[in-house]
Homo-oligomer: A and B are copies of this chain.
Amino acid sequence: MTTKVKLLGFWCSPFAFRVVWALKLKGVEFEYIEEDIFNKSTELLELNPVHKKVPVLVHDKRVIVESFVILEYIDETWPKDPLLPQDPYEKAMARFWAKFGDEKLLESAYKAMWSKGEEKQKAMKEAVESLEKIEEVLRGKNFIGGNSIGYLDLAIGWIGYWIPVWEEAGGSMRILDSQKFPAIAEWSAKFLKHPVVKENLPPRDRTLAYCHKRAEEIYANFCASEN
């Protein structure tokens, strides 16, 4: 009997895409199930009762959630062509910067998109400062994983595709200036050109329209909660 792998995702979630890329790089066949995150399915609520979020990986009867936990699971379950470095220190660095990318950069860049005025300026500043740190990590590197895409490439691979969309959706603000961040620009161009990545990205126009709408909704909710 063949092993069954199933992934619950959302069509423009960077968290879901990093799992898609990992599975494709490993050559793992899987069934992709699109989840409506605004009207969650019984299946999602049953599989991820704690966070009720995508991505969810189902491998036989094993359910794994949280994208970074999933990436490690994938790397350990299908160990050929490892994603994580073998050296414990390099591994620690990969885990550290992955977490940094989500908690510092992604949070602030997304907030810069939907917020306005002082809040937006503050979020933009934080995003730029986080990018400065990532620029240092990427300087002089081909892929962060060496000559092939590794864990950290997958973890922060969203930067070059999603940030420009968020910039546009957020009123042509500028965070990811390629003059200021040449290492990120070069690495990102290479990453997005990799066949596995290139063929697995959400359509830009639709993503932009979605982000425009989300930015307005989140800002409206934010204003309502402030009053």
Contact = CB atoms under 8 A, between A and B. Distances in A.
A64 to B, nearest CB: 5
Interface stretch (A24-32, A93-101, A191-199): A93-101
Contacts of A133: 50
A50 B76 CA distance: 29
A89 B62 contact: yes
User: Interface extent on A, as a size class?
Assistant: 20 to 34
A76 B88 contact: yes
Interface string A6-36: 0000000000000000000000000000000
A65 interface: yes
B50 A72 contact: no
Nearest to A89: B62
Contacts of A126: none
Given A50-B133, A133-B50, A72 B92 contact: yes
Contacts of A96: 64-66, 69
Interface in A192-218: none
A222 interface: no
A77 interface: yes
A99 B50 CA distance: 12
A133 B70 CA distance: 20
Interface of A: 50, 59, 62, 64-66, 69-70, 72-73, 76-77, 88-89, 91-92, 95-96, 99-100, 133
